[in-house]
Chains A and B, each alone.
Chain A
Amino acid sequence: MIQKDLTYKKNLPRNIIGKLLTFASFCFSTIAIAPLILVLVYVVIKGGSVLSVDILFSEPQPPGDDLGSAGGIGNAIVGTFIITGIATLISLPIGVGGGIYLAEYSKGGYFARFIRFGTNVLSGVPSIIAGVFIYAVIVVTKVIYGSMFSGIAGGISLSILMIPTVIKTTDEGLKLVPDELRKASLGLGASMFTTITDITLPSAVKSISTGVVLGLARAAGETAPLIFTALFSYYHITSFSDIFYEMSSLSVLIYNFALEPYKAQNELAWAASFILVTVLLLMNILSRYLGSITTNK
């Protein structure tokens, strides 16, 4: 029978099913965002409440030494900056260079296809494997000035995780640059080099920086590659040569101190989480902001 009447009938099976499904999808998204809110609330309450100037600048105390205080996270903050800085220094030229090759020079041949595929595979390599790899080739062999666990080794292992992100966003960012610009420049007799450095790269720089910031944010929060490359240190960095020795970082500090039975150390882990999460969320929002100016252009 053909429905001749046009009114909305809420008892119709299709309308009941529709309502149920809409409600279910609403519930699913509520469940999906609940963890973010819960984690943020706890990090802010537990971490924010113990935060003090002293904690921000001083060194941590070894667990059990002083039950009342666990010291601070000053050296871990500095360490995180240094290690991710090293990772950026390594992954930026490789990532941007590789991305330029893929987007500007390659003509979809075998090599380029393999590199694209390899980039995707590398981005799926578990972060702990990167740590294992660097442990085997750098820490055990002591190739870097005879040092074993070091900030440099940690930075290198993080760079393995950053490279795929930087390559991908460079590649995609350059592909978004209209071909007319490229042709216009080449048509004037400019070389590929000047075309890329003067025309295409500047047009893509915003999307590339989005990718770099995202990659950086991911690397800064990583722990697994650091626990047996950079290890941990209880002391402030005093000289440049300290990057060849064990170095602390916020993420490893959280891992180590979360599992300690002492309340003071646990609180320090929360404080470190507060700093880390705040910085990472800000970086993410920054990368989104960079992305939005690109699209508005």
Chain B
Amino acid sequence: MTSENTTKYSLRRRPKSEKLIDESFRKLTIAMAAMVAVVLVSILLVVFFESTEAIGRYGLSFLVTSEWNPVTDEYGAFTAIYGTMLTSLASLLIAIPLGVGTAIFITENIIPEKIRNLVGLMVELLAAIPSVVLGLWAIMVMEPFLRPFLKQLHENLGWIPIFSSEPIGPGVAPAILILVVMILPIITSISRDSINQVPDKLREAAYGIGATRWSTIFNIILPAAISGIAGGILLALGRAMGETMAVTMIIGNSNNFSWSILSPGYTISALLANQFGEADGSQVSSLMFAALILMILTLVVNIFAQWIVKKLSLKY
């Protein structure tokens, strides 16, 4: 009786082939996962080894000189590094209040849900517009529109070093503004998600003892959501530092250092985009050095972002 039954299940003992498939599939997924590590590590190694020549020749002076002369073979990335830091930090300063404010507006019960969702969708669609299209818009539409205002700034406040040059077209200030447009969706959508994750019971607790909406937001909701928001801000910073196309198109690509945000400037990524294609010899190595610096900057910011999300997470 039993033997009759078991024979119907020819697979009662697993055949070798099934075990083989099972095991090879597992190994395959491990290999695929390992590809991530391989790619990441080889990016670091390749960029590092390609830049050893420049590192050996210029050392740390590469960071503080702003000479960039293929004829005399003298290279220094100070202007580009300064430009990267300035544009990314300045755009972050503008985008934080805008992004977090928008996130609050579309999560807390201020306007009807349908409008909230629509605003949220639009901000996220903004992230879908390619950088190069924003760059096109920036040089063709935004910069000509802004120029009279920037001229006013220069004429009235020209004694301040950052407004000390005549705006002549592409420059650092429009680059900062286009970066704001690019990182706003990141800050907004991550802040929105973090605020949505704050449990409703905390909101109720605050309202239940007579707190106003904004007291609840500032004292309860935002502190509870701070880890996610801070992580999102850092991700946005990393994105702003590495952002290439729109900035390349609007920043003016000049390696002459200037304090003025109305004059043209450079960022590391713009430097790479502009010069890598037709570079040779020690210029390639110098560009790789610049790429290495950019890589390290964004790595530090991204790792810090992951760390801060863990560190600041509140228990509730």
Contact = CB atoms under 8 A, between A and B. Distances in A.
Interface of A: 14-15, 17-18, 21-22, 24-26, 28-29, 31-33, 35-39, 42-43, 46, 93-98, 100-102, 104-106, 111-112, 114-115, 117-122, 124-133, 135-137, 160, 163-164, 167, 191-193, 196, 217, 220-224, 227-228, 231, 251, 254-255, 258-259, 266, 269-270, 273, 276-277, 280-281, 283-284, 288
Contacts of B29: 97-98, 100-101, 104-105
Q: Which of A100, A124, A127, A220 has the most CB of B within 10 A?
A: A124
A191 B14 CA distance: 9
Interface in B201-229: 212-215
B160 interface: no
Interface in B273-316: 273, 276-277, 287-288, 291, 294-295, 298-299, 301-303, 305-306
Given A25-B101, A137-B46, A223-B245, A97 B213 contact: no
A42 B141 contact: yes
Contacts of B68: none
Contact of A105 (B30, B130, B306): B30
B105 A29 contact: yes
A17 B213 CA distance: 11
B102 A28 contact: yes
B36 A164 contact: yes
Contacts of B128: 217, 221, 280-281, 283-284
Q: 6 closest Cβ contacts across the A-B interface?
A: A126-B242, A221-B130, A97-B32, A28-B101, A124-B302, A101-B29
A93 B32 contact: yes
Interface stretch (B37-45, B54-62, B71-79, B150-158): B37-45
Contact of A255 (B33, B42, B245, B276): B245
A102 B26 CA distance: 11
A268 B299 CA distance: 37
B93 interface: no
Contacts of A35: 126, 181, 184
B63 interface: no
B110 A25 contact: yes
Contact of A191 (B18, B132, B215): B18
Interface string B1-28: 0000000000000100011011001101
B33 A280 contact: no
Interface residues of B, number: 86
Interface of B: 14, 18-19, 21-22, 25-26, 28-37, 39-40, 42-43, 46-47, 50, 97-99, 101-102, 104-106, 110, 119, 121-126, 128-137, 139-141, 181, 184, 188, 212-215, 235, 238-239, 241-245, 249, 269, 272-273, 276-277, 287-288, 291, 294-295, 298-299, 301-303, 305-306
Given A98-B33, A137-B42, A125 B26 contact: no
Contacts of B102: 25, 28-29, 32
A42 B138 CA distance: 11
Nearest to A100: B29
Contact of A133 (B46, B135, B241, B277): B46
B298 A128 contact: no
A164 B50 CA distance: 25
A255 to B, nearest CB: 5
A101 B30 contact: yes
B132 A223 contact: yes
A133 B43 contact: yes
Q: Which of A18, A93, A114, A193 has the most CB of B within 10 A?
A: A193
21 contacts: A22-B110, A32-B119, A33-B122, A33-B123, A38-B141, A94-B32, A101-B32, A121-B303, A124-B242, A128-B242, A128-B244, A128-B294, A129-B295, A133-B42, A167-B36, A251-B132, A251-B245, A254-B135, A258-B249, A270-B136, A283-B128
